[in-house]
Amino acid sequence: MRRFYIATEEEIKKGETTDVYFERTRKILEAKGLDKIKVIAEITSGKLPRNWEWGVLCGIEEEIKLLEGYPVNVYSMPEGVIFRPQSYNGVKIPVLYIEGPYGSFAHLETAILGLICQASGVATAAARVKLAANFKPVYAFGIRRMHPAIAPMLDRAAYIGGFDGVSGVLGAKLMGIKPVGTMPHALIILFKDQIKAWKAFDEIMPPEIPRIALVDTFYDEKIEAVMAAEALKEKLFAVRLDTPGSRRGDFAEIIREVRWELDLRGYNHVKIFVSGGLNEEKVKILSEAGADAFGVGTNVSNAPTIDFAMDIVEVEGKPIAKRGKMAGRKQVWRCNNCLIDIVLPINKPKPKCPKCNKEMTEMLKPVIINGKIVTKLPTATEIRNYVLNQLKIIAKTREQI
Ligand SMILES: [Zn+2]
C-alpha cells in the first residue's frame, strides 16, 4: 500500500517507470540473444518550446545517479550548460550519450528522458526570468502548483537556472541553502490588522530574516506601504505587493506610486518586492517600473518541458541512425567566449571558433565508466554560478545587437 501515486527511488532506479514497449523490446532482444549488442545512444533536443533559442541543461546529477551501477559508459555536457538544439554547423547537439549493451539500459530510457526534459524546461524558464529581471533577485515560489513529490527537483532546477532562492523548505535543505519567504495574507487576516501582524513578525522572527511586509491586504498598496514603513522604520527591508488580478489595473503604475510615496517620506531604503502571476514579460516591465525583487511561481514551476529524445547512432562500432538523425559518435566543441558550439565526428581534430578563432573546448566528458562515477558532482550553487556566467555573456551579446 502506498499513500501517494509516486514512484519510489528504487522503482525509478530499476526502470519500473518505463514505457511498456521498452520492456517488451528488451524481452525480445533477450530471447533472440541480441540484448548484449553494444550501442551508442545519444540524447538531442528538438525545437525548443515558446520559441526559446537556447535551453539550460538540468537534471544531469540525477541522470548519473540513475545510470550508476549499470554496465555502461556515459558522456555528458556539464549540468547548467546553455545549449542550442543545433550547433553552429547545423548538427543536432548531443547533450549526453550512453555506450553499452542496449539490453542493459533500454528500460531506463523513459526515466533518462524524464529526468532532464522537465528539469531543463524549469531551469530555462528561470534563466529567462533572471535575464528579464536584469539580474535583480528572483525567488521561486511555484512548488504549490505541482505535485509535492517533485518539489525539491523543481526548486533545484529554478535555483540552477539563476534564481536567488527558493521557498521550499525541503528543496532548500537538499541544496544546502536557506529557504526564502515573506508572510502570507493569512497572517494579516488572523491579526485583522496589518500593523499588528507586521510588528508581530518583527517581534517573533530572528533578526537575520529580512522584514518584508505584505502591503495589499485591506487598503491601497501605497497607503499600506507607508503604514509599514512608519511601523517598522529602518528595520523594514521591503514591502511585498501581491496585488490580486482584479485590483491590478496598471501594476507598473502602482509600483511607481509606491516608490514615490516611500521616497517622499525618506524611506528610500525600503525595497519593492512583487509576486503573483509573474512571467518573463511582466518581470521585465515591473523591473523597469522600479520593482527590486520578484517572486515567480507557476510560470517557472510549470514551464514547458524540453523535448529531448534518445536515439541509437552506432551499433558494434559502426555508425547507423534512423532518418532525421546523424550517425556516429560525436564530440561537441565550444567557444567559451562566444558560446558557439560545433559538433564533429569523434575522430576529427579540435576546431577553432569560427567567430573569434580561439581554441574550442570539448563539452562531452566521461561521467560514468563501467558503471562507476568518474566525475566530481558540482553543488547546485556551483552549477548556478556557471549558468549566471553564461547568462552574462548572452546579456552582453544582446546589448551589442
Ligand atoms: Zn569564439
Q: For 16-31, write each residue's pLDDT tens digit.
A: 999 999 999 999 999 9
The distance of Cα 11 from the centroid of its chain, to the nearest Å, equals: 25
- How far apart are alpha carbons 180 and 210 in whole angstroms? 10
The 10s digit of each residue's pLDDT in 34-93 is: 999 999 999 999 899 999 999 999 999 999 999 999 999 999 999 999 999 999 999 999
- What rounded mean pLDDT belongs to the chain? 96
- Distance (angstroms) between ligand 1 centre and the Cα of 396 equals 14
Three-state DSSP string of the chain? CCCCCCCCHHHHHHCCCCCHHHHHHHHHHHHCCCCCCEEEEEEEECCCHHHCCCEECCCHHHHHHHHCCCCCEEEECCCCCEECCECCCCCECCCEEEEEEHHHHHHHHHHHHHHHHHHHHHHHHHHHHHHHCCCCCEEECCHHHCCHHHHHHHHHHHHHCCCCEECCHHHHHHHCCCCCCCCCHHHHHHHCCHHHHHHHHHHHCCCCCCEEEECCCCCCHHHHHHHHHHHHHHHEEEEEECCCHHHHCCHHHHHHHHHHHHHHCCCCCCEEEEECCCCHHHHHHHHHHCCCEEEECHHHHCCCCCCEEEEEEEECCEECCCCCCCCCCEEEEEECCCCEEEEEECCCCCCECCCCCCECEECCEEEEECCEECCCCCCHHHHHHHHHHHHHHHHHHHHHC
φ, ψ of residue 378 to 5 degrees: the values are -70, 155
Ligand 1: distance of its center to the CA of 309 in Å? 28
**How many whole angstroms from 55 Cα to the centroid of ligand 1?**
19
Ligand 1 geometric centre to CA of 81 (Å): 16
CA–CA separation, 17 and 6 (whole Å): 10
pLDDT (tens digit, 9 = 90+) per residue, 310-365? 999 999 999 999 999 999 999 999 999 999 999 999 999 999 999 999 999 999 99
Separation of CA 331 and ligand 1 centre (Å): 17
What is the Å distance from ligand 1's center to 357 Cα? 6
Average pLDDT over residues 6-13: 97
| Interval between CA 117 and ligand 1 midpoint (Å) | 28
Counting residues of the chain whose pLDDT is more than 70, the rounded percentage is: 100
User: What is the rounded CA–CA span in Å between residue 43 and residue 1?
Assistant: 36
Instruction: Give pTM, 2 decimals.
Output: 0.96
- pLDDT tens digits, one per residue of 143-181: 999 999 999 999 999 999 999 999 999 999 999 999 999
Ligand 1 geometric centre to CA of 390 (Å): 13
For the chain, give the percent of residues with pLDDT over 90.
96
Q: How far apart are CA 349 and CA 243, in angstroms?
A: 57
User: What is the tens place of the pLDDT at every residue in 377-401?
Assistant: 999 999 999 999 999 999 998 776 5
Which residues have CB less than 5 Å away from ligand 1 (the ion)? 335, 337-338, 353, 355-356
Residues sharing a CB contact under 8 Å with residue 314, sequence separation 6 or more, in sequence order: 39, 40, 320, 327, 328, 329
**Ligand 1 geometric centre to CA of 219 (Å):** 54
* Ligand 1 centre distance from Cα of residue 389 (Å): 15
Task: Please give the pLDDT value at position 247.
Answer: 87
- B/e letters for 85-98, b = 16+ CB within 10 Å, e = fewer, are bebbeebbbbbbbb
What CA–CA distance (Å, rounded) separates 305 from 97?
20
CA angle 171, 173, 175 (to 5 degrees): 75
- pLDDT tens digits for 76-105? 999 999 999 999 999 999 999 999 999 999
Give residue 361 CA to ligand 1 midpoint distance, Å: 11
User: Which cell numbers in the block locate residue 362?
Assistant: 570539448
Task: Give distance in angstroms: CA of 359 to centre of ligand 1.
Answer: 8
Q: Is it the case that residue 249 has pLDDT exceeding 90?
A: no
How many Å lie between the centroid of ligand 1 and the Cα of residue 235?
A: 48
Residues 99 and 73 sit within 8 Å (Cβ to Cβ): yes
